[in-house]
Every structure is written in C-alpha cells, then in structure tokens.
Amino acid sequence: MKIRIDKDACVGNARCAAISEVLFQLDDEGYIAVSEIDVPEGMEELARRGARSCPEKIIEIIEE
C-alpha cells in the first residue's frame, strides 16, 4: 500500500498526523512533509483512517 498526497493543497489541519505521526509527518510549519509514503505492513488501517480524516481529501490510498 502507498499513500499519495497533494502537498500543495495541504492547509495544515494536521488531522492525519493526529491519527499517526509516524505515517503523516509534518514539517516545521505544520504542513504535510512528504508527497508519497510506503505504508509499512500492519499500518494499513492507520493509513486509511488518516486519509479519511483529511477535510480537503488530498490523501489518496493506493492499494497494491
């Protein structure tokens, strides 16, 4: 599983990071720091919850 994020559309709500700071790392200003994440085994449900928590819907889950 991968996560793809439209970093430019991030407004810094940080709801994804509240679900999992490990997966959804923020920069010093509180915006998402990366645009693609390889989800470690066992963290798939956290990835899905983080994606659903984004009010802007900029987090895409890619099932492999």
CA–CA separation, 58 vs 16, rounded Å? 11
Taking the model in full, what pTM does it have? 0.90
Q: Supply the pLDDT for residue 64.
A: 81
Write the single-letter amino acid at 8: D
Domains of the chain as residue ranges with CATH? 2-62 (3.30.70.20)
Do the strands 36-38 and 59-62 form a parallel or antiparallel pair, or are they unpaired? unpaired
In a structure prediction context, what are the per-residue pLDDT tens digits for the chain, which is 64 residues long? 999 999 999 999 999 999 999 999 999 999 999 999 999 999 999 999 999 999 999 999 999 8
Q: Could you tell me the end-to-end alpha-carbon distance of the chain, in angstroms, rounded to an integer? A: 5
